[in-house]
Structure formats: C-alpha cells, structure tokens
Amino acid sequence: MAPLLASSLLSSFLTPVLRRTLATAAASSSASPAAAAAAPSWTPQSRRTGLIARKQGMTNIWDENGVKVPVTVLQIQNCQVTAVKPPPSTSPWWAVQLGATDRKAKRVSAPMLGHFRAAGVEPKRKVVEFKVSADALVPVGTTLSAAHFVPGQFVDAIGTSVGKGYQGVMKRWNFRGLKASHGVSISHRSAGSTGGHQDPGRVFPGKKMAGRMGGERVTVQNLPVIRIDTASNVIFVKGAVPGSDDGFVLLRDAKKKLVTHSANRARRGEKALPRGVEDLPFPAATVEMAKDWPEVIQAPAQGKPV
C-alpha cells in the first residue's frame, strides 16, 4: 500500500477520500504485527463501534431467580466492516462503516458493488457508519460477532419506528381532546385552539397538529443486554426496540449508562463499567474471537438474589 501512495503516476487518480482510506488501511495492516504485541484495550474515554442487527421478534427468558424478563431477539447477519474514515477537520471522531445482511449482486448498483469489492466483502443491504475514537478502529473486511456486547452492559437501540400513517393530535401528540358530550359538536378529538387572536395573529411554526406519525428514526436508550448466542449470532436485550420484525436496528454502547457513566466513575476513581461487566471486547469482537468464548452467555439477574 505504501509504494502505491508514493507513486506520482497514480496520485492523480487518488481522490482525497480514497487517499485517506488507503492510508488508514495501510496503517492498520502494517500495524497489526506490532499491535498484536500491545493490543488496545477499552478505556473510559474510548468509543467502540456499534453493530447492525435485525429485529427477529420478542420472547421471554426466566432468570435464575424465576423472574420473567421480556427480551427482544436481534440477529447479526454477516455484519462486516466496509470502510474506515478519518475524522473531518470539524470533529475528533473516526468513522467505522459497517455493512449488514448479504444481498444478491444483481440487485446492487454498480457503484456500491465496486465499494464492496474494494472492501473484500459480499454486497450488503444496509450500510451505516459509527463514530469511534482513534483507538477503536477495526480493519476493513472484519466480520463482527454478537459477542461484541457483554451480557450485563447497556446498549442504545436505534430503529425506524412502525409507521402509523396520518394520525390525529390525540394519538400523535397526546392531546386531551374535548368532552364526549355536554354540547360539544363534532370536535371531540380535535386540537381546539391553535393560538391567540390579533396578537400574534398567526400560528407558530412547529405547532403540534395532525399529520404523518411513525416511520422515523427512534432511539431507545439504556437497554440491558441479557443474553448472547454466538452460534446463531443473536443478542437478547431487555425490553422493546423500535420497528417491526425484520427491521434493521443499530446497536451501540449506551451513551448515558455506559459511556458517560463510565467516564464519570473513572474520574472519581471507582470501577468504571456497570455491575458484573469487567471489560469490553476492544476494538470489536470478531467471529474468530468468539470461538474462544462460550457459545451462550447470560447476564446474572438484575435484582437481589432470591
């Protein structure tokens, strides 16, 4: 890779983005023998990559105390790194680009086919970038595993919420509507007044009104990871996650309960990670690494022992 960059003949073909991507790949591939000796480990200031998962449905798991825990089943379908991008001048964060769920090559556009070929991965359905710190870069072409998340840690789940169509203000904005009787004519579920009179003499922009609801990006924060199954690459998180079954869900370390809390606890000199979690796979857990760990791992019960 290095001789390629130095060649003046090819430098005219290298766009700024390609030059940066090659530099990153060169740095990571040449650094891997040296890095193996000093593997980076998670620090409270690091930010790891997330994963792209597919929501498979919900079920229940009974913990060792006989308590029923509702869980969402999320499957990692061949999630691979397709690119690593250096930070722009305005931000300190690198970007790790992931692709998830293989797709037939005939259904993928030619530009994207070239992009996947350059990364050495099969064509994917979904491509998403995650902001990471400089120590958390993952080489292009790595296949990530469900073991990237540790049972007992917290994650944020981001998905496209179920579309509700055109909805009225009572459903969309929790308006209280008007009385059901006592003379109210026709307007039982309406918004009522939309503003003042001559002053201000207009309706403010952003006034809550009826309109299309759902089908938008929603983040559910601080979901505990209950179980990991590396054989079928499945993560069980407690609670519900936005979107319908088979929808794409982005999972990342919880910004509040994991990232920020850990940094604050570390600053106070306490144990940084949540209860039961000693370390996180860093920079990411690959399917090769997951073969060295147990196949199914579950978090201990959250409540007191019964």
Partner 1 sequence: MATARSAPSFLAPLRQAVAAPKASTSAEVVAGKRWASYKPVSASPKPYPFAPTALIPDVPASAIPPASAPLNLLGRINHTLLHGNASSQFLPLFARRSRTRVPASSVLAVTYYPVTGAGGARGPNTSTFSGVLIGVRRRGADVSFTLRNVLMKTGIEQTFSLGSGAIKEIKVLKRGEVKRAKLFWVRDDPKALQKMASGIAKGQR
Binding piece for partner 1, criterion CB under 8 A, among 17-25, 128-136, 193-201, 279-287: 279-287
Neighbouring residues of 75: CB distance < 8 A, sequence distance ≥ 6: 53, 54, 56, 232, 233, 234, 235
293 in contact with partner 1 (CB under 8 A): yes
Alpha-carbon distance 159 to 251, whole Å? 9
Binding-site size for partner 1 (CB under 8 A) equals 37
Query: Binder to partner 1 among 9, 12, 68, 106 (CB under 8 A)?
Result: 68
Minimum CB–partner distance for residue 273 and partner 1 (Å): 9
Is residue 206 within 8 Å of residue 192, measured between CB atoms? no
Instruction: Please list every residue from 23 through 52 that binds partner 1, using CB under 8 A.
Output: none
Query: Binder to partner 1 among 60, 109, 185, 198 (CB under 8 A)?
Result: 60
| Nearer to partner 1 among residue 115 and residue 148 (C-beta) | 148
Minimum CB–partner distance for residue 224 and partner 1 (Å): 12
Alpha-carbon distance 116 to 25, whole Å? 15
| Nearer to partner 1 among residue 163 and residue 294 (C-beta) | 294
Question: E strands of the chain, at which residues?
Answer: 51-62, 68-75, 80-85, 94-102, 124-132, 154-160, 165-167, 211-213, 217-229, 234-238, 248-253, 296-298
The site for partner 1 (CB under 8 A) is made up of 56-57, 59-68, 73, 75, 150-152, 227, 232, 234, 276-281, 292-294, 296-300, 303-304, 306
